[in-house]
């Protein structure tokens, strides 16, 4: 019994001694290894990395941090890039295993998948599953723009091959998810802006081949009844259909109407106004236009919309209505010279409609000239055109001789019994 106890103690001492020696050796090797990598003595560092990975795998995550630097250098100079890339992939996997808290999957699984793509390692499915695991388990750390694009590209390839039965619907859902992430990353980093623009453009090219109004709308119509109270879902679908130029489809109109019921915005009001305007639903169109003006906070946008509404009214011969829109537009942006020019043309177009004789019919040109003069004085961008119109209207209006012959001295008011419903003041001689 004493002999057995003595043997056990001796064995423990030997093992403990070996453990201490190994630990000391590991620490010393790690110290030398890190210093060699820092000073770019890579040839000396290579056998040290092999020793550390074999004997001290869980010693310190610095083994893997410095190991990554070393192996990335080796890939750049080696003719056997695939073999080095495979070793780097294994290094990443070991780091995930031994130091999971310092190795977020959202960052390192995409690194592995990208290496596999670059060096033709594994199958499309295997590469995709790594990206997919990263997104599913650690989305917050999946921030690499190139990796996000590669993920979608692989998904598209698998959809095309039918290998994983990836539907158009799933492809579109991933497209929107990845697109949103890329846009967020683009806002945060000017450095990657150009690259992200390229990725977004390439994604659009891929999705253009499979996603059309015809294929997408039936997919979303099936879900609509169960999701119609989920405004975020509706917005997402509406955005997808808008990107695909499906805004003329009845289902898109249905989506925007639902959004307008749940969370109305200036954009929903504007869209609904335009649709009803095109359908000649005047009462509904006017209702949505008024609501748009109330909700819109950008006066320049309000002016643009009301100016356009005025132009449409002119085209329909609704001159009084057109003037009302122009005046509302000017209330929003008093220095909008283009609107004053439209108002000037509107007055000038009525020379033969308003007035009882040749003199009073031409008198409305004074009103047109007044609007053209305002445009010229307040908006440099339209000054040339405003000056041209001012000269034209001034020449078309009654001359000083005409005023004298009519018996006017200036300052008299000429009223009009037409759509204009106002008056002009005779210029003083």
Q: What is the pLDDT of residues 89-120, one digit of tens each?
A: 999 999 999 999 999 999 999 999 999 999 99
Helix (H, G, I), strand (E, B) or coil at 40: coil
Question: Quick check: is 245 in a domain?
Answer: no
pLDDT of residue 1: 54
Q: How confident is the model at residue 191 (pLDDT cuts 50, 70, 90)?
A: confident
Answer whether residue 260 is part of any domain: no
Owning domain of residue 342: 334-429
CA 178 distance to own-chain centroid: 12
**pLDDT above 80: residue 13:** no
User: Considering its fold, how many domains does the chain have in total?
Assistant: 1
Please write the tens of the pLDDT for every residue from 340-381. 999 999 999 998 888 888 999 999 999 999 999 999 999 999
**Residue 93 or 13, more confident:** 93
pLDDT of residue 12 exceeding 70, the answer is no
CA distance 304 to 311: 11
Residues 284, 140: Cα–Cα separation, whole Å: 45
pLDDT tens for residues 231-243?
Answer: 999 998 998 889 8
**Strand-pair partners of 423:** 415
Rounded mean pLDDT, 328-345: 96
Nearest of 381, 290, 288, 278 to residue 337 by alpha carbon: 381
pLDDT band at 17 (very low <50, low <70, confident <90, very high): very low
Flag whether 417 is in a domain: yes
DSSP state of 419: T
CB-based contacts of 89, cutoff 8 Å, min separation 6: 112, 115, 116, 121
> In this structure, are residues 308 and 343 in contact, taking their beta carbons and an 8 Å threshold?
no
Residues of the chain above pLDDT 90, percent = 77
In a domain, 380, yes or no: yes
Split at pLDDT 50, 70, 90, the class of 9 is: very low
Residues in the chain: 429
What average pLDDT does the structure give for the chain?
A: 91
Question: pLDDT (tens digit, 9 = 90+) per residue, 280-298?
Answer: 999 999 999 999 999 999 9
Determine the pLDDT at residue 227.
93
Q: What is the pLDDT of residues 42-79, one digit of tens each?
A: 999 999 999 999 999 999 999 999 999 999 999 999 99
The per-residue pLDDT for 23 is: 62
Confidence class for position 417, pLDDT limits 50, 70, 90: confident
pLDDT at residue number 274: 93
- Identify whether 381 is part of a domain: yes
The pLDDT confidence band at residue 421, using thresholds 50, 70 and 90, is confident
Q: Is residue 296 in a domain?
A: no
Rg of the chain (C-alpha set) = 37
**pLDDT band of 19, cuts 50, 70, 90:** very low
Q: Phi/psi at 59 (nearest 5 deg)?
A: -65, -55
Confidence class for position 209, pLDDT limits 50, 70, 90: confident
Give the range among 25-39, 202-216, 368-382, 390-404 with minimum mean pLDDT: 202-216
Specify the pLDDT at position 60. Answer: 95
- Alpha-carbon distances, residue 369 vs 45, 300, 315, 372, 427 (angstroms): 85, 25, 21, 5, 12
Residue 327 domain-assigned?
A: no
C-alpha count within 13 angstroms, C-beta hemisphere, residue 407: 0
The two three-digit tokens of residue 405, written as one number: 């012959």
* Residue 363 in domain: yes
Q: Among 75-89, 305-319, 373-387, 407-421, whose mean pLDDT is lowest? A: 407-421
Is there a contact between 251 and 229 (Cβ–Cβ < 8 Å)? Answer: no
pLDDT greater than 80 at residue 130: yes
């Amino acid at each position: 019994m004493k002999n057995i106890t003595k043997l056990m103690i001796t064995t423990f001492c030997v093992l403990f001694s070996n453990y201490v020696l190994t630990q000391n050796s590991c620490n010393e090797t790690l110290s030398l290894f890190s210093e060699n990598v820092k000073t770019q003595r890579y040839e000396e560092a290579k056998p040290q990395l092999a020793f550390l990975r074999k004997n001290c795998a869980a010693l310190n995550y610095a083994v893997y941090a410095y190991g990554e630097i070393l192996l990335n250098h080796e890939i750049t100079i080696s003719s056997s890039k695939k073999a080095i890339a495979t070793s780097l992939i294994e290094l990443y996997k070991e780091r995930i295993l031994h130091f999971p808290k310092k190795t977020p999957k959202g960052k390192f699984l995409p690194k592995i998948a990208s290496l596999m793509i670059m060096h033709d390692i594994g199958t499309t499915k295997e590469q995709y599953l790594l990206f997919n695991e990263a997104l599913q388990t650690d989305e917050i750390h999946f921030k690499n723009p190139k990796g996000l694009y590669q993920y979608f590209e692989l998904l598209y390839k698998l959809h095309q091959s039918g290998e994983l039965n990836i539907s158009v619907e799933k492809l579109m859902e991933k497209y929107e998810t990845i697109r949103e992430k890329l846009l967020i990353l683009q806002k945060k980093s000017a450095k990657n802006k150009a690259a992200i623009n390229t990725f977004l453009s390439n994604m659009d090219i891929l999705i253009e081949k499979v996603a059309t109004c015809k294929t997408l709308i039936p997919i979303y119509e099936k879900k609509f009844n169960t999701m119609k109270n989920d405004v975020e879902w509706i917005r997402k679908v509406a955005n997808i259909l808008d990107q695909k130029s499906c805004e003329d489809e009845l289902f898109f109109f249905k989506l925007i109407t639902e959004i307008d019921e749940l969370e109305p915005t200036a954009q929903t009001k504007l869209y609904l106004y335009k649709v009803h305007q095109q359908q000649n639903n005047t009462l509904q169109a006017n209702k949505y236009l008024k609501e748009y003006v109330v909700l819109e906070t950008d006066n320049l946008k309000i002016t643009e919309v009301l100016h356009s509404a005025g132009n449409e009214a002119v085209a329909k011969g609704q001159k009084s209505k057109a003037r009302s829109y122009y005046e509302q537009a000017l209330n929003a942006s008093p220095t909008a010279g283009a609107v004053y020019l439209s108002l000037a043309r509107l007055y000038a177009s009525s020379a033969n409609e308003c007035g009882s004789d040749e003199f009073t019919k031409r008198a409305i040109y004074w009103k047109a000239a007044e609007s053209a003069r305002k445009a010229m004085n307040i908006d440099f961008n339209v000054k040339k055109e405003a000056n041209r119109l001012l000269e034209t209207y001034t020449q078309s209006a009654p001359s000083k001789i005409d005023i004298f012959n009519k018996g006017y001295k200036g300052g008299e008011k000429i009223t009009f019994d037409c759509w204009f419903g106002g008056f002009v003041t005779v210029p003083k001689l």
